């Protein structure tokens, strides 16, 4: 049962029809087509209806959905049968094949491309270069073969005019390692003649419309297909593709595959030669046939790397060897010359196509394979071959194609029956004989030795004398007149749908087909004058020479008569059937819904005819014979266990078979099933649909229950995960904190005994959580270290220390020289050493001032140069500005005394004032350090104080300037 499709889409497997009738089959097929479901199963067979539109069902999502899944686990699809063939090949090491059949326009070529695309997508997950190269060549080969082997017909814009069977070789890993392509019965007659509304092969139009002007000039071609006889019929026909872009794609594909530039050039030279040959006209001058177009002959000779005389001779004469070994040249009649030209053109194209296929095979063949070293080499075969054809005028090609379909239908029925018998035998189920139409009688009618139609044709071709198609038909009437599947107008005179001496009819399994015998013998003989073969073999172009090995034979050399076209085709089809018979087959049956290429029109009569000749109804009957449905016990139990109380959610029985029996018994299906060794067999689809309906009703309930349980499970999982996360985070934080503490303790263990009390010890980087704590700890350590240092300072030195600390903070490192390294005397005017001449007078005046004003002590004294006003610069000058609140500043210059001529006393003054200010007022004294000049206020007006060095100046002094004052400094 294919899942994920509701009952509104009909039955996804024709085996599950209530009754196997053509009416029910067609109703189901039409419903699924109208609902956009173009694929339907018949067991393991996929029935595909051409949708005539692009469908969004071949994306990577679909590839992933079908990869590794069973057929019934997803809706019907080409990917399902491709995956089934790949799994059988990989898991069981069995050679498999996928047979794609159907009439022209049913979508066979597209189906084969999608199957190749799927196989390429699911293989080589490790992206090995050599495997990717093989995959690219296999995929690109489709593009090349379509260009040279497909054409636009009245039924199909991209009709394959040849049969193709591709073997893909895989190694033991399931990766493609190479392949081989076989082609069957190229419709070469299309090269010289097409029906109305149809085109020649795509390659001609792609070259003419896609080739560059330079390329066409070198090939002596024009860009208009109307200019050539062989392409004129299809020149105005509209197709769904762009010939120009297709030509570029083909050139790219040829290069990817490995064709050299010389080989590509030779390919298009041959195409050009064929086009020029078609335009040759022959004139009879009363004595012999002539070629008036000398330029065309010269161009053909240039393109084929031969000489013009040899080309003209091969077209106008035929070399014949007499019985005595004498060689004579016989001139053609006008009719014979035209026949020879067309035969040569068809042979050129046929050999070109065969050479391209063999060249691709040479690239993709498995090289250096050793089973002992590389393991078993398995194969998947893909057969894309023409379907049954019934036209208004059916000729030799339709006869061969329909014979091929008879052989494949015979194989199809035999393999399906054999598979059924083998499965019944494996499972211990009694096999019941199935009545079906065995088309062996029709196959014998065509291919039986000495009695079949092909033997009669060959005999007519071998007979000496003027044997015509009519004589051949007469021979068929005489030998096959009693055959139940053969008739003609002579055998049935009242049937006016056939013409006397022209038509015969074969009653094929797919329906009656009337063939016109006209041209049968010529097409079967497939004659080509030996002169053309020798001409091409003697070409200096190695590609052309390689295509015509039979041209090396001398005209007098006696050779065995070549096999006829029908016999060659019969042998190739017998070999193909032999290849398919030894593989496990999977089938894709393609159906064309209408002749209008409409995505909405479903022509029931047309589709019913295809269903009949594809044998789909017989396929359903064979599949349903005895039992319509079978499934391994484990799979059946997994799907339907919720319908039985004893098996949901899990059974407690000894085996899955007993659990399946419990489900069957509860639903009362005991009489409608059989138990195999590993599978349950259900006889009628109705039992299965009862289970399906009950399952469909239970699924929403189970889904809601499972959603509830799963959501609870997810919530609990998230909760446990969050708890675990927080626990881990807490433990980690504690570990980091402890580690930091231990590291700090280790590094600072001996700081008490260090000279610098741990100043040189590097602090470890703290975790983020301890950033604030780390800053506090560093601050505490600095305070402790300062305390340890201060303990050793004498109390008498403490005022100086406090003043220096205050100066350091106030100047903020902006003044490099501020007297930090010397002892600060503070009261310099009272110091006899610093001011020996004025110290006694200052001491007496200070004492009087102290007695009068009652001040505590002199903080700082020294000689100054003064003007009303005050600040500090960052230089070495001794200028200080003391700012007042009433904007009447005090500007001074500290003069050095006798202790040291170069002492800097600015820092001492600033430090003393800042320290005193802080202790008295409990606030900081604002200090501004300027770079070049000071700004002061005097009597409420702003003044700038600049500095200037003046030669000859003995002592520093102030001088008025335009903007304020200038401090004149002695030159150093």
User: Helix crossing, 440-447 with 453-462: angle to 10°?
Assistant: 0
Judge whether residue 865 has pLDDT over 60.
no
Mean pLDDT of 919-945: 82
Mean pLDDT over 375-389 rounds to 81
Quick one: how far is CA 256 from the chain centroid?
17
Question: Once rounded to an integer, what is the mean pLDDT over residues 747-762?
Answer: 88
User: 280-320: per-residue pLDDT in tens?
Assistant: 999 887 778 888 888 999 999 999 999 999 999 999 988 87
> What is residue 866's predicted lDDT score, i.e. its pLDDT?
47
Q: Quick check: 277 and 345 in contact, CB under 8 A?
A: yes
CA distances from 297 to 273, 338, 547, 652, 904 (A): 10, 15, 21, 88, 115
Highest mean pLDDT among 434-448, 575-589, 674-688: 575-589
> Which of 97-111, 201-215, 374-388, 586-600 is the least confident region?
374-388
- pLDDT at site 434: 65
- Helical spans, DSSP H, in 878-931: 906-921
By three-state DSSP, how is residue 471 classified? helix
pLDDT given at position 555:
67
Highest mean pLDDT among 86-95, 351-360, 457-466, 823-832: 351-360
CA-to-CA distance for 67 and 60, rounded, in angstroms?
10
Average pLDDT of span 738-755:
90
Q: CA 642, 647, 649 angle in degrees (round to 5)?
A: 65
Closest CA to 50 of 6, 8, 107, 102: 107
Q: Write out pLDDT tens, residues 698-730.
A: 888 888 988 999 999 999 999 999 999 999 999
Neighbours of 963 (CB within 10 A): 12
- Identify the bridge partners of residue 680 per DSSP, sorted by sequence position: 631, 675
Distance of alpha carbon 185 from alpha carbon 571, whole angstroms: 12
Percent of the chain with pLDDT over 70: 94
Condensed to tens digits (0 to 9), the pLDDT of residues 787-828 reads: 888 888 888 778 888 888 887 777 767 777 777 777 787 787
Six-digit token string for 540 = 């200096």
Q: What is the mean pLDDT of the chain?
A: 85
Bridge partners (DSSP) listed for residue 590:
48
Comparing 356 with 391, the larger pLDDT belongs to 356
Q: What pLDDT, in 10s, does the model give residues 60-111?
A: 999 999 998 877 678 999 999 999 899 888 877 888 999 998 887 888 889 9
What confidence score (pLDDT) does residue 556 get?
A: 61
Answer whether residue 2 shows pLDDT above 50.
no
Residue 533 vs residues 264, 345, 351, 536, 552: alpha-carbon distances, Å = 22, 12, 11, 5, 8
Paired with 630 in beta bridges are 681
Q: What are 200's two structure tokens?
A: 């020649």
- 644: tokens are 């039985």
Q: Is 597 exposed, middle or buried (0-12, 13-18, 19+ CB in 10 A)?
A: middle
- Cα gap 96→246, rounded to integer Å: 33
pLDDT of residue 519: 87
User: For residue 226, is pLDDT > 90?
Assistant: yes
> What are the residue numbers of the active site?
104-105, 109, 156, 159-160, 387, 389
- The predicted pLDDT at position 374 comes to 54
Residue in the block written with tokens 């409608």: 672
The 3-state secondary structure of 40-51 reads EEECCEEEEECC
Specify the higher pLDDT residue, 686 or 206: 206
- Asked if 575 and 6 touch (Cβ cutoff 8 Å), the reply is no
Q: Could you read off the pLDDT of 47-62 as tens digits, one per residue?
A: 999 999 999 999 999 9
At residue 376, does pLDDT exceed 70? no
Q: Rounded CA gap, 106 and 49, in Å?
A: 7
pTM over 0.85, yes/no: no
Task: State yes or no: pLDDT of 697 exceeds 80.
Answer: yes
Span of 322-326, 365-369, 386-390 with lowest mean pLDDT: 322-326
* pLDDT of 246 above 90: yes
Residue with tokens 């393999």: 415
* Local confidence band at 1 (pLDDT 50, 70, 90 cut-offs): very low
555: number of CA atoms within 13 Å, CB side? 18
pLDDT, residue 601, reads: 94
Q: What is the pLDDT, as a whole number, of residue 36?
A: 92
Contact criterion met (CB below 8 Å) for 229 and 341: no
Which of 169-173, 250-254, 505-509, 588-592 is predicted least confidently? 169-173
Tokens 């059924």 belong to which residue?
420
DSSP 296-354: HHHHHHHHTTS-HHHHHHHHHEEEEE-TTS-EEEEEPPHHHHHHHHHHHHHHHHHHHHH
Query: Residue 905 in contact with residue 894, Cβ under 8 Å?
Result: yes
Strand 941-950 to 964-970 pairing: parallel
pLDDT band at 867; cut points 50, 70, 90: very low
Confidence (pLDDT) at 258: 92
Q: With 80 as the cut, is the pLDDT of residue 18 above it?
A: yes
Q: Give the closest residue to 615 by CA, choosing from 510, 512, 513, 511.
A: 510
146: left (phi over 0), alpha (psi -120 to 50) or beta: alpha
- Map residue 367 onto helix, strand or coil: coil
Residue 741, exposed/middle/buried by CB under 10 A (0-12, 13-18, 19+)? middle
Per-residue pLDDT at 868: 39
More confidently predicted of 885 and 566: 566
Judge whether 16 and 688 are in contact, CB under 8 Å.
Answer: yes
Residue 782 CA to residue 788 CA, distance in Å, equals: 10
Mean pLDDT of 893-905: 73
Neighbours of 199 (CB within 10 A): 24
Diameter over CA atoms, the chain? 167
pLDDT (0 to 100) of residue 371: 58
């Amino acid at each position: 049962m294919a899942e994920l499709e509701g009952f509104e889409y009909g039955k996804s497997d024709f085996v599950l029809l209530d009754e196997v009738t053509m009416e029910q089959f067609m109703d189901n097929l039409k419903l699924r087509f109208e609902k956009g479901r173009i694929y339907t199963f018949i067991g393991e067979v996929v029935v595909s209806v051409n949708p005539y539109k692009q469908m969004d069902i071949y994306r990577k999502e679909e590839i992933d959905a079908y990869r590794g899944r069973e057929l019934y686990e997803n809706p019907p699809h080409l990917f399902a049968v491709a995956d089934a063939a790949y799994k059988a090949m990989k898991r069981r090491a069995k050679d498999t094949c996928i047979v794609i059949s159907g009439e022209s326009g049913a979508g066979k070529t597209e189906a084969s491309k999608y199957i190749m695309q799927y196989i390429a997508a699911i293989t080589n997950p490790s992206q090995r270069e050599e495997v990717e190269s093989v995959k690219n060549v296999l995929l690109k080969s489709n593009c090349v073969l379509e260009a040279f082997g497909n054409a636009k017909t009245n039924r199909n814009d991209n009709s394959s005019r040849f049969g193709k069977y591709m073997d893909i070789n895989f190694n033991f890993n399931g990766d493609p390692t190479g392949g081989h392509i076989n082609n069957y019965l190229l419709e070469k007659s299309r090269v010289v003649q097409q029906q109305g509304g149809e085109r020649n092969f795509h390659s001609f139009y792609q070259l003419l419309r896609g080739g560059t002007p330079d390329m066409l000039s070198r090939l002596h071609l024009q860009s208009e297909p109307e200019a050539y006889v062989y392409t004129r019929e299809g020149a105005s026909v509209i197709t769904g593709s762009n010939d120009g872009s297709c030509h570029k794609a083909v050139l790219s594909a040829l290069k990817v595959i490995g064709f050299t530039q010389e080989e590509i050039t030779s390919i298009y030279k041959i195409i050009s030669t064929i086009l020029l040959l078609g335009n040759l006209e022959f004139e009879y001058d009363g004595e012999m046939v002539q070629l008036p177009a000398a330029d065309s002959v010269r161009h053909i000779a240039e393109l084929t790397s031969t000489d013009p005389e040899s080309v003209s001779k091969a077209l106008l004469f035929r070399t014949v060897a007499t019985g005595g070994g004498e060689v004579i040249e016989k001139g053609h009649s006008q009719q014979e010359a035209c026949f020879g030209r067309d035969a040569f053109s068809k042979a050129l194209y046929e050999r070109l196509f065969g050479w391209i296929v063999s060249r691709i095979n040479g690239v993709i063949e498995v090289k250096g394979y050793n089973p002992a070293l590389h393991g078993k080499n398995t194969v998947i075969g893909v057969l894309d071959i023409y379907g049954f054809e019934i036209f208004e005028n059916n000729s030799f090609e339709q006869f061969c194609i329909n014979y091929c379909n008879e052989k494949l239908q015979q194989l199809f029925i035999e393999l399906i029956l054999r598979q059924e018998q083998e499965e019944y035998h494996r499972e211990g189920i009694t096999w019941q004989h199935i009545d079906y139409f065995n088309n062996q009688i029709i196959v014998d009618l065509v291919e039986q030795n000495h009695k079949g139609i092909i033997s009669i044709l060959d005999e007519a071709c071998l007979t000496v004398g003027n044997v015509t198609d009519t004589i051949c038909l007469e021979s068929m009437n005489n030998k096959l007149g009693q055959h139940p599947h053969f008739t003609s107008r002579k055998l049935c005179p009242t049937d006016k749908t056939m013409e006397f001496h022209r038509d015969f009819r074969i009653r094929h399994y797919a329906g009656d087909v009337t063939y016109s015998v006209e041209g049968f013998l010529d097409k079967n003989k497939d004659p080509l004058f030996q002169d053309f073969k020798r001409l091409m073999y003697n070409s200096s172009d190695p590609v052309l020479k390689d295509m015509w090995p039979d041209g090396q034979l001398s005209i007098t050399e006696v050779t065995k008569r070549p096999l006829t076209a029908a016999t060659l085709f019969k042998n190739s089809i017998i070999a193909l059937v032999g290849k398919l018979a030894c593989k496990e087959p999977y089938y894709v049956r393609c159906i064309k819904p209408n002749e209008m290429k409409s995505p909405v029109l479903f022509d029931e009569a047309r589709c019913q005819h295809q269903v009949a000749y594809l044998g789909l109804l017989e396929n359903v009957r064979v599949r349903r014979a005895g039992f319509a449905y079978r499934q391994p016990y484990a799979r059946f139990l997994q799907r339907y266990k919720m319908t039985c109380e004893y098996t949901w959610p899990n059974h407690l029985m000894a085996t899955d078979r007993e659990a399946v029996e419990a489900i069957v018994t509860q639903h009362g299906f005991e009489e409608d099933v059989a138990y195999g060794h590993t599978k349950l067999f259900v006889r009628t689809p109705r039992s299965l649909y009862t289970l399906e309906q009950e399952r469909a009703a239970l699924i929403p309930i189970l889904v809601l229950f499972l959603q509830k349980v799963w959501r609870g499970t997810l919530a609990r999982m998230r909760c446990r995960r969050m708890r675990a996360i927080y626990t881990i985070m807490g433990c980690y934080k504690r570990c980091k904190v402890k580690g930091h503490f231990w590291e700090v303790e280790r590094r600072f263990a001996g700081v008490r005994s260090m000279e610098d009390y741990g100043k040189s010890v590097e602090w470890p980087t703290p975790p983020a959580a301890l950033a604030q704590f780390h800053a506090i700890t560093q601050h505490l350590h600095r305070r402790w270290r300062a305390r340890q240092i201060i303990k050793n300072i004498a109390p008498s030195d403490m005022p100086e220390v406090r003043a220096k600390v205050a100066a350091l903070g106030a100047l903020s490192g902006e003044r490099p020289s501020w007297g930090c390294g010397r002892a600060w005397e503070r009261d310099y005017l009272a110091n006899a050493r610093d001011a020996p001449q004025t110290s006694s007078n200052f001491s007496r005046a200070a004492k009087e001032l102290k007695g009068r004003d009652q001040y505590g002590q002199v903080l700082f004294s020294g000689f100054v140069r003064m003007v009303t006003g005050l600040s500090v610069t960052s230089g070495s000058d001794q200028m200080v500005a003391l700012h007042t609140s009433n904007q009447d500043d005090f500007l001074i210059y500290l003069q050095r005394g006798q202790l040291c001529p170069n002492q800097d006393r600015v820092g001492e003054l600033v430090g003393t004032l800042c320290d005193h200010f802080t202790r008295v007022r409990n606030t900081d004294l604002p200090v501004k350090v300027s770079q070049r000049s000071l700004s002061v206020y005097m009597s409420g007006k702003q003044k700038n104080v600049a500095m200037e060095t003046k030669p000859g100046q003995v002592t520093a002094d102030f001088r008025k300037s335009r903007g304020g004052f200038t401090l004149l400094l002695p030159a150093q």
